[in-house]
């Protein structure tokens, strides 16, 4: 990428990161999710930086992209929340053993751990990736595969009853 585009991206990031984070946080009320969404929005901006540098309203594009990513995250979050009935119960009534038992019916131990860290412990993908000593993209992929496997196995189980 050339120097002008790098400078444009840096300027975009420095001007809009904080406000974009506040905007997304108001949509999600979830700190870790808001951080992930803003990061994804800036990754999308970086990938399309040439087009964005010529765009008549780069800030508007960035906010619209963040809103669309937020909608996608929220849809996925609600799907997972529906699949994890333990999350919908009173937190005092849930213990780790029950969560582990529920998830172990559908996932292996490592898959269950990553789901619990993200959805129950509310850790960010960056924190989980650091714990596992893997890249952020590898962490995202592991979480996606675990969600997909949980959904498929849970639906198969549900249809058998």
Cβ atoms of residues 59 and 41 within 8 Å:
no
The model's pTM? 0.55
Structure tokens at 106: 């559908």
Say what the pLDDT of residue 146 is. 87
- CATH 1.10.645.10 for the 84-159 domain, yes or no: no
Q: Where in the chain is the domain with CATH 1.10.1740?
A: 3-74
Nearest CA among 50, 51, 53, 26 for reference residue 37: 26
pLDDT at 103: 64
| Residue extent(s) of CATH 1.10.10.10 domains in the chain | 84-159
Band (pLDDT 50/70/90 cuts) for residue 116 is confident
53, 5 contact by CB (below 8 A): yes
Say yes or no to pLDDT of 134 above 80: yes
The per-residue pLDDT for 40 is 94
What's residue 109's pLDDT?
81
Residue among 115, 36, 37 at smallest CA distance from 83: 115
Pick the CATH number of 3-74 from 3.10.450, 1.20.1080, 2.40.30, 1.10.1740: 1.10.1740
Question: Which two tokens mark 64?
Answer: 């619209």
Q: What's the Cα-to-Cα distance from 40 to each of 21, 52, 106, rounded to whole Å?
A: 11, 15, 29
Condensed to tens digits (0 to 9), the pLDDT of residues 32-82 reads 889 999 999 999 999 999 999 999 999 999 999 999 999 888 877 776 766
DSSP 55-114: -S-HHHHHHHHHHHHHHHHHHHHHHHHHH-GGGGS-GGG--HHHHHHHHHTTS-HHHHHH
% of the chain residues with pLDDT over 70:
79
Q: What percentage of the chain reaches a pLDDT higher than 90?
A: 45
pLDDT digits (tens, 9 = 90+) for 6-44: 999 999 999 999 999 999 999 888 888 899 999 999 999
Q: Dump pLDDT digits (tens) for 84-107.
A: 654 444 444 334 544 555 566 678
């Amino acid at each position: 990428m050339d120097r002008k585009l790098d400078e444009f991206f840096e300027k975009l990031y420095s001007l809009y990161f904080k406000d974009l984070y506040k905007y997304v946080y108001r949509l999600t009320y979830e700190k870790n999710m808001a951080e992930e969404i803003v990061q994804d929005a800036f990754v999308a901006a970086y990938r399309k930086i040439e087009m964005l540098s010529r765009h008549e309203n780069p800030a508007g594009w960035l906010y619209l992209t963040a809103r669309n990513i937020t909608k996608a995250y929220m849809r996925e979050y609600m799907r997972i929340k529906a699949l994890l009935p333990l999350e919908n119960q009173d937190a005092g009534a849930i213990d780790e053993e029950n969560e582990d038992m529920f998830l172990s019916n559908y996932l292996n131990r490592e898959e269950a751990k990553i789901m619990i860290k993200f959805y129950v412990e509310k850790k960010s993908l960056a924190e989980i990736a650091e714990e596992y000593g893997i890249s952020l993209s590898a962490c995202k992929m592991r979480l996606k595969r675990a969600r997909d496997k949980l959904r498929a196995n849970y639906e198969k189980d549900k249809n058998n009853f």
